[in-house]
Chains A and B, each alone.
Chain A
């Protein structure tokens, strides 16, 4: 307490020095004067003569100035004061050289700002816990299914599991299933589709985020035949109801059913896929089956339960589940037995963040390197500055300034630069993050949570200080050492500088070149990856001409396949009548949309292909389409033919398969024609393959194209359909036109659809090229960042080399003059300097190549079709760098040798 109080007083005295110092001095002077007077008076009384009395009093008091000095130091914080003074000096010096200061601050604020921004992203996505209370206990409940190929190693939960897991578990505090889907909201404004989160009872309890208004779903809401209820998210509530508090109890029309609003979630509530509405998903105990693993399970573990314990519990419950429920109608129990389901519980955060971490760490490392290069550049500039002040330092040292004091002055200047750069950088990163959140790749998870918080601020401070210290230490090491005599002598600038003067700068340039090479190779590899991806024929052509529109089918006719199909063909007719439309198609989803809807996959077997005992047929992706789908997408028909409208009207048992599936089973596309396949086992009829089409890269071009089976959009018998047969419900309409993506076309298409389906919502309006770009969003994001980083590195590296050569020449002007006067050839001289620059570049490049070989391995997960040691990239980048270095050395060298020799000799 006492110490703190004293510190605060000292701090105040230091900070408000000007106001109080003079008064304090005056008080001390009076006090000491009076002290001495009193002593002198006493001495006088003791019988000493007046002069001697005062002299003795002064002796007894001691050295007045020394005491005053101690007193002053104690009154304030001398350390802080010199720091403030040094900072003030530093700022004054920096203001005197605005060009230098601007260059340094620009470099630093870009370098630091980029690092702060990417740390903000890394922090909010990877480091910060999810925005739920005790989020570490949240897990996603998944399964492995080694016996069921085609599910990618992780399978969700089925409705039957909901009952088993809720009732039998020993390790969950709460458990529920969810699914996301689109629902139509009608009766207010334009009919629209809202992103809905369908939850069973238990999901909201698991997340434990209290509603802002109203209540969570209760078990009653979960019971079939109870009134329909909905909870709004904050954003939806604000957008559509202006935050009206009387919303509770109001009725909305959702999926054509009156639905009562029972709650509103708070602003902080977030969930995957950013839902707008939360609706209860109801299961009827009497009609649930083993299968339909299209739900995602979420659980909150009991305190102290480990993932292993939870997995063991899940494994136990899987046995109970298999025996407790019937298989789905038409499916044999053996399919479920042979699937050999196993537990796979994952922390929810890992599940949400996914593999984006790899990209982010690479980007962060990249930007870290850019900052290092920037620091090297700034250090170089500071060296030149310090060089110019050598004489001053020496004089100061000779006059008695400690070298520590001089070193501190240099260091303070650097750290001041670092802090100023950091402040500007923080502003830049703030702007950058705002842009990223607004326009960033939608594939980035937790995008809405990105922002600047205290840990980002701490990072900014740390990076600025570190950067300042990093480039500050180099001039200190070089000039902060006591070599007074040499400095005084050498600073006359009459001599050419010794070799050791350039060593520090040369080293910095080598480091810069090496780092720049690493970054350029990194961006080169990304460019090559992007090229490779672009060169892949994705299974469709000219995607920018394909407009995609989804539309809903009215509930009133949802159970009449004949009428649904009629509606579809009427819509297709109207769409193809729109001017500029060359073809139209219908399907359940466009290529690359599987990630949006969740993929539709089921086991497919082929006639005559016998499976081994205990083996389930592999799952294949399934699309239902109408004639014209392939033509509109631009998918090549490899063998056979497309569906015809006759196939659909006569409900013929036909199918089309992708080329890779045809090759897998029959070796060649042509051989597949006439063969028969079926979906999901004996309940479905065999269907004859009439066509084989090119593979479509449905998961993006980086991923191997999945095997596809295409069924007609209208079928007589189908396992998932009722008595009347099957017709594709909500449809995806593809329109090929050179007007794709324009407001006009979308408007006309919407009118055409509405004129048939009675103003049901039209949604997911996009173009195929948008979907294509989105599928490469992560690659393009990494590419853009690395390209920017590489470009910055290259520019900084060039500036570094140019600077060193130019400076060397300026220091050796006299020498050049003498050489020219003595008859040296200008070409020879310029070659000498260029050789110097090239030597530095070559050493840097060699080191950089070695470093790149090690470092680029870390980014191998981002690469496609090339190895991290891609020889083309390595050699191209090296050649580029050396060529640029030669140019950067030649320009200043050229200037030096064209100098008039007389002028050069006089140069001082």
Chain B
């Protein structure tokens, strides 16, 4: 797996979680939210979010429609679909599982293995 794939996957999960917590949101809103939480580590440029959104939409995890932005202008809003919610749950579970394994793994000291 290439590095970008990993990052895209993580980014996708964060998009889903953001939409789950905050409800329908436009691209800028999602980008801001992810930035607030992770800083610039995940996204060097906000633009990289858009290919991820496209992929999620093609996969049917999110859907989009037109709405009005804070500027009172036309903006594209994304929302989580039922399938996206299921995917989020599944991925959250597997993520937690992985995280806990890694955590335990690092917690192990050399003498525990003898």
- Measured in the bound complex, the distance between the Cα atoms of B28 and A30 in whole Å is 12
Known: A5-B59, A67-B47. A74 touches B73 (CB 8 A): no
What B residues does A63 contact at CB under 8 A?
A: 45, 47
Residue in B31, B44, B58, B73 whose beta carbon sits within 8 Å of that of A34 in the complex = B73
Q: How far is the CB of A34 from the nearest CB of chain B, in Å?
A: 5
Interface residues of A in 123-142 (CB under 8 A from B): none
The 0/1 profile, CB within 8 Å of A marked 1, for residues 15-52 of chain B is: 00000000000111001000000000000111110110
Known: A10-B58, A74-B54. A34 touches B28 (CB 8 A): yes
A748 at the interface (CB under 8 A from B): no
B69 at the interface (CB under 8 A from A): yes
Query: Is B47 a contact partner of A32 (Cβ separation < 8 A)?
Result: yes
Known: A2-B59, A5-B59, A38-B70. A67 touches B27 (CB 8 A): no
Query: Is B76 a contact partner of A31 (Cβ separation < 8 A)?
Result: yes
Query: Is B76 a contact partner of A71 (Cβ separation < 8 A)?
Result: no
Residue in A2, A5, A34, A74 whose beta carbon sits within 8 Å of that of B74 in the complex = A34
- Measured in the bound complex, the distance between the Cα atoms of B60 and A67 in whole Å is 22
Residue in B28, B44, B48 whose beta carbon sits within 8 Å of that of A39 in the complex = B28
Query: Is A38 a contact partner of B48 (Cβ separation < 8 A)?
Result: no
A317 at the interface (CB under 8 A from B): no
Known: A5-B60, A6-B58, A6-B59. A31 touches B75 (CB 8 A): yes
B111 at the interface (CB under 8 A from A): no
Query: Is A5 a contact partner of B50 (Cβ separation < 8 A)?
Result: no
B103 at the interface (CB under 8 A from A): no
Query: Is B58 a contact partner of A61 (Cβ separation < 8 A)?
Result: no
What B residues does A6 contact at CB under 8 A?
A: 55, 58-59
What B residues does A32 contact at CB under 8 A?
A: 47, 50
Q: How far is the CB of B48 from the nearest CB of chain A, in Å?
A: 7
What B residues does A876 contact at CB under 8 A?
A: none
Q: How far is the CB of B101 from the nearest CB of chain A, in Å?
A: 25
What A residues does B31 contact at CB under 8 A?
A: 35
Q: How far is the CB of A65 from the nearest CB of chain B, in Å?
A: 10
What B residues does A75 contact at CB under 8 A?
A: 54, 58
Q: How far is the CB of A462 from the nearest CB of chain B, in Å?
A: 33
Instruction: Give the secondary structure class of A's interface.
Output: helix
What B residues does A61 contact at CB under 8 A?
A: 45-47
Query: Is A70 a contact partner of B58 (Cβ separation < 8 A)?
Result: no
Query: Is B44 a contact partner of A62 (Cβ separation < 8 A)?
Result: yes
A60 at the interface (CB under 8 A from B): yes
Interface residues of A in 55-74 (CB under 8 A from B): 60-64, 66-67, 70-71, 74
Query: Is B69 a contact partner of A38 (Cβ separation < 8 A)?
Result: yes
A28 at the interface (CB under 8 A from B): yes
Known: A5-B59, A34-B69. A27 touches B76 (CB 8 A): yes
Residue in B45, B50, B51 whose beta carbon sits within 8 Å of that of A31 in the complex = B50
- Measured in the bound complex, the distance between the Cα atoms of B54 and A27 in whole Å is 12
Query: Is B51 a contact partner of A67 (Cβ separation < 8 A)?
Result: yes
What A residues does B26 contact at CB under 8 A?
A: 31, 34-35, 38
Query: Is B28 a contact partner of A38 (Cβ separation < 8 A)?
Result: yes
What residue of chain A has the Cβ atom nearest to residue B87's Cβ?
Answer: A2
- Measured in the bound complex, the distance between the Cα atoms of B15 and A696 in whole Å is 93
A41 at the interface (CB under 8 A from B): yes
Interface residues of A in 411-446 (CB under 8 A from B): none
Q: How far is the CB of B111 from the nearest CB of chain A, in Å?
A: 45
What A residues does B59 contact at CB under 8 A?
A: 2-3, 5-6
- Measured in the bound complex, the distance between the Cα atoms of B49 and A731 in whole Å is 94
- Measured in the bound complex, the distance between the Cα atoms of B59 and A569 in whole Å is 91
Query: Is B58 a contact partner of A35 (Cβ separation < 8 A)?
Result: no
What A residues does B61 contact at CB under 8 A?
A: 2
Query: Is A35 a contact partner of B27 (Cβ separation < 8 A)?
Result: yes
Known: A2-B60, A5-B60, A41-B71. A31 touches B55 (CB 8 A): no
- Measured in the bound complex, the distance between the Cα atoms of B54 and A63 in whole Å is 18
The 0/1 profile, CB within 8 Å of B marked 1, for residues 22-55 of chain A is: 0000011011101101110100000000000000
Query: Is A35 a contact partner of B74 (Cβ separation < 8 A)?
Result: no
What B residues does A2 contact at CB under 8 A?
A: 59-61, 87
- Measured in the bound complex, the distance between the Cα atoms of B87 and A70 in whole Å is 25
What A residues does B44 contact at CB under 8 A?
A: 62
A9 at the interface (CB under 8 A from B): yes
What residue of chain B has the Cβ atom nearest to residue A8's Cβ?
Answer: B58
Q: How far is the CB of A75 from the nearest CB of chain B, in Å?
A: 6
- Measured in the bound complex, the distance between the Cα atoms of B58 and A117 in whole Å is 45
The 7 lowest CB-CB distance pairs between A and B, nearest first, are A62-B45, A67-B47, A62-B47, A6-B58, A38-B28, A2-B59, A35-B28
Residues of A that sit less than 8 Å from B by CB: 2-3, 5-6, 9-10, 27-28, 30-32, 34-35, 37-39, 41, 60-64, 66-67, 70-71, 74-75
Give 17 A-B contacts (CB < 8 Å), ordered by A residue.
A5-B58, A28-B50, A30-B74, A31-B27, A34-B28, A34-B76, A35-B31, A38-B70, A38-B71, A38-B75, A41-B71, A61-B47, A62-B46, A63-B45, A66-B47, A70-B48, A74-B54
